[in-house]
Amino acid sequence: MKNRFLCPSCRSDLKIKNSVIFSAQTENGIRGLVLFSPELGNYSILHVPSFTYNAGDHIDFFCPVCHASLGIPEVNRDLAEIIMIDEKQVEYKIIFSEIAGKQCTVKIKENTIVESFGDDAGEFSNFWGVGPTY
Ligand SMILES: [Zn+2]
């Protein structure tokens, strides 16, 4: 998978080797870097042990380059968004949950859900019905 993942604000590459890197802050104000798998639907997360949180906590994600928030509160306060560019140079929005342990990710092109991932992905229909309206 040679997909690229970009910050929506500064369009810096957020993927290095096999990790997508975000800056993050927990509900309790703990800050740290978190590494996600670039494989959509793989929810393994790497971080240092002192970056602690509980399942169900809201975690804010930021671009580690420009520090812009990746959250999209205009759609939902618990969702965040980045850009993915696939091997064919097609650009998608990747929207994912900011709730620890919640597994839902959707791939969006031209305001339509192309693919969804994760056990909790069905919850996206609560936000968008047949498709996103923003
Ligand atoms: Zn950025």
Residue extents of the structural domains in the chain: 4-101
Q: Could you give the CA distance from residue 30 to residue 34 in angstroms, rounded to a whole number?
A: 12
Name the pTM for this structure.
0.90
Contact partners, residue 88, CB within 8 Å, separation at least 6: none
Confidence of residue 122 (pLDDT cuts 50, 70, 90): confident
Confidence of residue 1 (pLDDT cuts 50, 70, 90): low
**Average pLDDT of the residues in 21-25:** 98
* Cα 13 to ligand 1 centroid, rounded to whole Å: 8
* Cα 47 to ligand 1 centroid, rounded to whole Å: 20
* Cα 65 to ligand 1 centroid, rounded to whole Å: 5
Q: Could you give the CA distance from residue 44 to residue 36 in angstroms, rounded to a whole number?
A: 6
Q: What is the pLDDT of residues 74-95, one digit of tens each?
A: 988 999 999 999 999 999 999 9
Q: Could you give the CA distance from residue 48 to residue 67 in angstroms, rounded to a whole number?
A: 20
* Cα 101 to ligand 1 centroid, rounded to whole Å: 25
Separation of first and last alpha carbons in the chain: 29
* Cα 69 to ligand 1 centroid, rounded to whole Å: 8
Q: What is the pLDDT of residues 47-74, one digit of tens each?
A: 999 999 999 999 999 999 999 999 999 9
Residue 133, pLDDT > 60, answer no
**Average pLDDT of the residues in 2-27:** 97
Residue 96, pLDDT > 50, answer yes
Residue 112, pLDDT > 90, answer no
